[in-house]
Amino acid sequence: MDTLIEMKGIKKNFGDIAALRDGYFSLSVGEIHSIVGENGAGKSTLMKILYGLHSPDEGEITFAGGGGAETVSSLSPKKAISHGIGMVHQEFMLASEMTVLENVILGFEPRKGIGIDRAAAIAKIEEYGSAYNLGVRHGAKIRDISVGEAQRVEIIKILYRGANIIILDEPTAVLTPMEAAKLFKILRSMKEGGKSIIFISHKLDEVMAISDRITVMRGGVHVSTLDSAKTSIPELARLMVGRDIFLGGSPPPARPGNTVLEIDNIWVPGEKELSKLRGVSLEVKSGEILGIAGVNGNGQSELAEAAAGLRPIQRGSVKLLGRAIESASPLERRRAGMSHIPEDRNTMGLNRHTDLKDNFICSSFREPPISSRGVIDRDKARETAKERMEAFDVRPCDPDAPAQSLSGGNAQKVVVSREMGYDAPFLLAAQPTRGVDIGSIEKIRGELNKARERGAAVLLISSDLEEILALSDRIAVMYEGRITGILQRSEADEENVGLLMTGHPAEDTKGV
């Protein structure tokens, strides 16, 4: 295949932090080329340089084409777009109160006289929908569409601007398995249509399924570029982390004790009709992990928020260690023995406007050893943050760094390491490994099992069915705001859990 882009010797520092020390990447015409690496490996930084959002300190970018090669030292977004480059960011760049059509054409409105030619714009959107299976509702507001549809809007938006090279940064991090499968069909059809695609991901099974070539980065350095047909997931993991990674195997059988969390017949309003909780009951015992499975949007988020005190309960009861907490505030629940890893690290897990040490002590700054007689010991706060950051390999490992400077995966590791540090009797873990690299997934899963082994009750909510099956002692499946069945680990497999996820009863639900 003909080389389309080549990036050589790319270096980029942010203050004292070397984000890229020797970045290299090449893209061929009509290929899907994935970039993998741990959080902080430099994947997103390298691609933001290609898209013109960052300027490299050193290095060069060469574009090949019919008019001859052009080598530049840096790009602006405008220059990148002129080269046919578009980027779909991990955090979507869409205006929620505007329609799909308005978001797509913003700044590129087709004109008809002095007005906007809406018919021409709609025709163009429908043309992309037909060519690449990118069906969207052009009249719907962004706030009313699914995450999967919002992602399709982002892709149409960059195609509308003339992109032939499409960068996707962690595109499946917030998608259900069904939405991810649909995205892969879209990417394959775009490749067949002559587009070149750069796919940044932590999910090695997806990378192997979708890629022609795979570039591995570690510590800001290009490690290797491999043909996907000539490599394997274990080899990629080893190149990423520098050691063998082990995610498989089941923990020893649970020895559940007394009930720690008891939810009895709760009814909770939902973001949408299907996500309203309708008479949900469950209990989590000490020394066990109860996994919640289901297609996103069927009440899992509402269940987590109701348990954490972030969403009102219309009726029913919630007890923690025998104490009624349905009317308790989140702080009161924490003091009663709850630790919470929220599914949205940005709005609920972190204060992005302060530094990392303050994020680590946000729930313990009133108590020894962080506080004495109402005065915070900043050195102790820094020491505590440093210990937790080193334990979870947060990069950069700087307690004074602003939270907003972290990549998505490192931000997640901050939240997880903070909540794991409390040794609470009850841990509510919602999407704990979303957006983190394979080495961190190994670490987080290991910590969840350690919490179980020390006697904590763990309620695990995850859209990753493999994770639910690997970690859970029992699995409760949600569909349209109800629990359709609870299975013991020994009874659960992808088939019967999948049936329950679609609202069909599984034949064996002995664990109910």
322 CA to centre of own chain = 34
- Amino acid letter, 92: F
Element holding 500 (H helix, E strand): helix 494-501
Chain mean pLDDT for the chain: 89
d(CA 80, CA 48): 10
499 located within any domain: no
What pLDDT, on a 0 to 100 scale, did the predictor assign at position 509? Answer: 43
d(CA 314, CA 337): 23
- Identify the band that residue 1 occupies on the pLDDT scale cut at 50, 70 and 90: low
What pLDDT, on a 0 to 100 scale, did the predictor assign at position 249? Answer: 60
Supply the range of the domain harboring residue 73.
1-84+164-169+193-245
303 located within any domain: no
| Span of 25-34, 105-114, 255-264, 332-341 with lowest mean pLDDT | 105-114
Q: What is the DSSP letter of 375?
A: E
Structure tokens belonging to residue 230: 């000539």
Q: CATH number for the domain including 197?
A: 3.40.50.300
- Asked if residue 212 and residue 65 are part of one domain, the reply reads yes
Domain boundary among 423, 440, 455: 423
The number of beta carbons lying within 10 Å of the beta carbon of residue 249 is: 6
Residue-wise pLDDT tens digits, 172-228: 876 766 778 888 999 999 999 999 999 998 788 899 999 999 999 998 999 999 999
- What residue spans of 68-203 are helical by DSSP H? 77-82, 100-105, 118-132, 147-160, 177-192
- What residue spans of 21-87 are helical by DSSP H? 43-50, 77-82
Residues with Cβ within 8 Å of residue 181, at least 6 apart in sequence: none
**How do beta strands 457-461 and 288-293 pair?**
parallel
Class of residue 93 by CB neighbours under 10 A (exposed 0-12, middle 13-18, buried 19+): exposed
| Span of 93-107, 136-150, 457-471, 494-508 with lowest mean pLDDT | 494-508
Higher pLDDT, 434 or 453: 453
d(CA 265, CA 278): 8
What pLDDT, on a 0 to 100 scale, did the predictor assign at position 329? Answer: 95
What pLDDT, on a 0 to 100 scale, did the predictor assign at position 209? Answer: 94
What pLDDT, on a 0 to 100 scale, did the predictor assign at position 505? Answer: 67
- Identify the band that residue 395 occupies on the pLDDT scale cut at 50, 70 and 90: confident
Class of residue 125 by CB neighbours under 10 A (exposed 0-12, middle 13-18, buried 19+): buried
Structure tokens belonging to residue 308: 């954490």
What pLDDT, on a 0 to 100 scale, did the predictor assign at position 67? Answer: 62
| Residue 374 confidence (pLDDT) above 90 | no
Residues with Cβ within 8 Å of residue 322, at least 6 apart in sequence: none
At residue 350, the 3 state secondary structure works out as coil
Q: Tokens 């959002």 correspond to what residue?
A: 53
Mean pLDDT of 272-287: 91
114 located within any domain: no
Q: Tokens 């490749």 correspond to what residue?
A: 191
- Asked if residue 211 and residue 78 are part of one domain, the reply reads yes
Q: Quick one: the chain helix, strand, coil %, rounded to 5?
A: 35, 25, 40
- Asked if residue 217 and residue 69 are part of one domain, the reply reads yes
Mean pLDDT of 485-490: 93
| Residue 507 confidence (pLDDT) above 60 | no
What pLDDT, on a 0 to 100 scale, did the predictor assign at position 310? Answer: 94
103 located within any domain: no
484 located within any domain: no
Share of residues in the chain with pLDDT > 70 (%): 96
Domain boundary among 423, 454, 471: 423
The angle formed by the CA atoms of residues 312, 313 and 316, to the nearest 5 degrees, is 165
d(CA 462, CA 78): 39
Residue 403's closest CA among 442, 353, 444?
Answer: 353
| Residue 334 confidence (pLDDT) above 60 | yes
144 located within any domain: no
Check the CA dihedral 473-478-482-485 and report its sign.
Answer: negative
The b/e string for 475-494 (b: 16+ C-beta within 10 A; e otherwise) is bbbbbbbebbbbbbbebbee
At residue 125, the 3 state secondary structure works out as helix
What pLDDT, on a 0 to 100 scale, did the predictor assign at position 118? Answer: 92
Q: What is the pTM for the complete model shown?
A: 0.69
Quick check: bond before 505 cis, omega within 30?
A: no
| Span of 152-166, 271-285, 361-375 with lowest mean pLDDT | 361-375
- Identify the band that residue 508 occupies on the pLDDT scale cut at 50, 70 and 90: very low
| Span of 93-107, 274-288, 393-407 with lowest mean pLDDT | 393-407
| Residue 369 confidence (pLDDT) above 90 | no
Element holding 341 (H helix, E strand): strand 338-341
Residue 412's closest CA among 389, 436, 393?
Answer: 436
Packing angle, helices 118-132 and 177-192, rounded to 10: 100
Residue-wise pLDDT tens digits, 415-435: 999 999 889 999 999 999 887
| Residue 121 confidence (pLDDT) above 90 | yes
Domain boundary among 423, 439, 464: 423
What pLDDT, on a 0 to 100 scale, did the predictor assign at position 66? Answer: 59
| Residue 242 confidence (pLDDT) above 90 | no
Quick check: bond before 369 cis, omega within 30?
A: yes
265 located within any domain: no
Q: Tokens 């299907």 correspond to what residue?
A: 274
Q: How many domains does the chain have?
A: 2
d(CA 244, CA 197): 29
54 located within any domain: yes
Residue 250's closest CA among 498, 469, 461, 511?
Answer: 469
What pLDDT, on a 0 to 100 scale, did the predictor assign at position 418? Answer: 94
Q: Which long-range contacts (CB under 8 A, 24 or more apart) does 43-47 make?
A: 43/200, 43/217, 44/90, 44/169, 44/200, 44/407, 45/12, 45/19, 45/20, 45/220, 46/7, 46/10, 46/20, 46/217, 47/87, 47/167, 47/169, 47/198, 47/200
| Residues paired with residue 23 on neighbouring β-strands, in sequence order | 10
